[in-house]
């Protein structure tokens, strides 16, 4: 038996690995070890969540952003994007469409667009809450003041997605010229303290990212104990300074998804759109490596192509109904069952 086998078995049994062990594993695994890792991750997912896959309707309501992240297609410096904003009425109508399709979680995502003031967002959240009392509302709108996070929570937001992007301070600072490493972590801590179910996460294959950096990402997650974990490959965008870089691979991303499942076993982990963009089977493979959430896009068709954090994003031409039913059959074909309930994290339910 290889030492890798022992390490994987330990991860499966204890849900714990040191940073050194993770780095070792990332440096030395064979194709066979990888398959074993996916099998363990799938088993752990089934133990905690069965074969269920939760669906979330994703509404990308503005591609206007004040930040300038080097990797992102909607960074403020990219003058080539046609910018858009949905009005609160349009966002509410979009929730209505999603509701009809069966979604009971709405994810409201945007660039960091301060045009949507705290007051506007509060009013919007109250309206969604009132119209769809049993639905969960997830925000993914970036960094705001703690008081704003508090008001939005009080107005009805349940969850908040904010990837930490990378746990390496050096890399974070290089990639985010307009942001601070400490602020990101402070926001994540504040969101958790307020009572949101919080999603953190990172990209795989960023320029200059080492295996030790990726191990640090998992250690950070282990320590932070997020409810949700978003992991996707970095995909270079032609209108950014990173256009000539290589980007993350399917295998490297799947390995990180599987390790996240082993180390934070009760988390909700999406099979990300970026992974589906990289490989037509990417999301199914992620579901078989420990992921248990899919986030179909329900953004209005008229603006959908403009929300391009990276290029060739899947789903650009599929109306919401096609997304919904197409995905359901793919999820079933992969051996899983679609669950349309709110799908709160087990950690959250246990703490209630």
Asked if residue 196 lies in contact with residue 153, where contact means CB atoms within 8 angstroms, the answer is yes
Q: Is 275 in the site for ligand 5AD (CB under 6 A)?
A: no
Angle, CA 67 vertex, CA 176 and CA 201 arms, to 5°:
60
Q: Is 229 in the site for ligand 5AD (CB under 6 A)?
A: no
Exposed e or buried b for every residue in 102-112, given b needs 16+ CB within 10 A? ebbbbbbbbbb
Nearer to ligand 5AD, 29 or 313 (CB): 313
Q: How far apart are CA 153 and CA 142, in angstroms?
A: 14
From 38, 153, 172, 234, residue interacting with ligand 5AD (rule: CB under 6 A): 234
- Is 230 in a helix, a strand, or coil? strand
Q: Which listed range, 32-40, 76-84, 233-241, 252-260, lies at the site for ligand 5AD (CB under 6 A)?
A: 233-241
Task: Report the nearest approach of ligand 5AD to the CB of residue 252 (Å).
Answer: 13
Q: Is 200 in the site for ligand 5AD (CB under 6 A)?
A: no
Q: Is 310 in the site for ligand 5AD (CB under 6 A)?
A: yes
Q: Is 331 in the site for ligand 5AD (CB under 6 A)?
A: no
Torsional sign, CA 175, 180, 182, 187: negative
Nearer to ligand 5AD, 17 or 229 (CB): 229
From 58, 141, 190, 203, residue interacting with ligand 5AD (rule: CB under 6 A): 203
Nearer to ligand 5AD, 33 or 207 (CB): 207
Among candidate residues 173, 161, 103, the one with its CA nearest the CA of residue 132:
103
From 95, 125, 235, 303, residue interacting with ligand 5AD (rule: CB under 6 A): 235
Nearer to ligand 5AD, 8 or 226 (CB): 226
Asked if residue 11 lies in contact with residue 263, where contact means CB atoms within 8 angstroms, the answer is yes
Residue showing tokens 């996460």: 201
Nearer to ligand 5AD, 132 or 233 (CB): 233
Q: Which listed range, 85-93, 230-238, 255-263, 330-338, lies at the site for ligand 5AD (CB under 6 A)?
A: 230-238
Q: How far apart are CA 74 and CA 69, in angstroms?
A: 9
Q: Is 232 in the site for ligand 5AD (CB under 6 A)?
A: yes
Q: Which helix (H) or strand (E) holds 154?
A: helix 146-154
From 71, 132, 220, 307, residue interacting with ligand 5AD (rule: CB under 6 A): 71
Exposed e or buried b for every residue in 307-331, given b needs 16+ CB within 10 A? bbbbeebbbeebebeebbeebbebb
**Interaction pattern, residues 163-182, with ligand 5AD; x per rule: CB under 6 A:** x-x-----------------
Task: Report the nearest approach of ligand 5AD to the CB of residue 173 (Å).
Answer: 16
Q: Is 276 in the site for ligand 5AD (CB under 6 A)?
A: no
- Is 102 in a helix, a strand, or coil? coil
Q: Is 72 in the site for ligand 5AD (CB under 6 A)?
A: yes
Angle, CA 237 vertex, CA 234 and CA 238 arms, to 5°:
150
| Token code pair at residue 97 | 């469409």
Among candidate residues 50, 96, 126, 95, the one with its CA nearest the CA of residue 343:
50
Write out the residues near ligand 5AD by the rule CB under 6 A: 71-72, 163, 165, 203, 232, 234-235, 237, 274, 309-310
């Amino acid at each position: 038996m290889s030492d890798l086998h022992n390490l994987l078995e330990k991860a499966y049994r204890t849900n714990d690995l040191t940073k050194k062990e993770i780095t070792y594993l990332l440096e030395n695994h064979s194709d066979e070890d990888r398959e074993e890792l996916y099998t363990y991750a799938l088993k752990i997912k089934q133990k905690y969540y069965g074969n269920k896959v939760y669906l979330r309707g994703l509404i990308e309501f503005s591609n206007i952003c004040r930040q300038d992240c080097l990797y992102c297609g909607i960074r403020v410096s990219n003058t080539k994007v046609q910018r858009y904003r949905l009005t609160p009425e349009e966002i509410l109508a979009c929730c209505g469409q999603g509701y009809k399709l069966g979604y009971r979680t709405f994810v409201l995502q945007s660039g960091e667009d301060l045009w949507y003031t705290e007051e506007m967002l509060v009013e919007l959240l109250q309206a969604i809450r009132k119209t769809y009392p049993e639905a969960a509302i997830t925000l993914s709108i970036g960094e705001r003041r703690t008081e704003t996070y508090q008001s939005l929570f009080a107005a009805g937001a349940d969850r908040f997605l904010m990837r930490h992007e990378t746990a390496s301070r050096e890399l974070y600072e290089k990639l985010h010229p307009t942001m601070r490493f400490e602020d990101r972590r402070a926001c994540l801590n504040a969101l958790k303290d307020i009572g949101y179910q919080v999603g953190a996460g990172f990209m795989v294959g960023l320029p200059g990212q080492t295996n030790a950096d990726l191990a640090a990402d998992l250690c950070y997650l282990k320590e932070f104990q997020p409810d949700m974990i978003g992991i996707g490959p970095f995909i270079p965008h032609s209108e950014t300074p990173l256009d000539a870089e290589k980007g993350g691979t399917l295998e490297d991303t799947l390995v990180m998804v599987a390790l996240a499942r082993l180390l934070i076993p009760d988390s909700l982990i999406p099979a990300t759109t970026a992974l589906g963009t990289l490989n037509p089977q990417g999301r199914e493979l992620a579901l078989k490596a420990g992921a248990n959430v899919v986030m179909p896009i329900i953004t209005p068709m008229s603006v959908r192509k403009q929300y391009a954090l990276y290029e060739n994003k899947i789903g650009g031409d599929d109306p919401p109904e096609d997304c919904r039913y197409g995905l359901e059959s793919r999820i079933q074909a992969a051996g899983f069952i679609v669950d349309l309930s709110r799908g709160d994290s087990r950690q959250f339910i246990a703490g209630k």
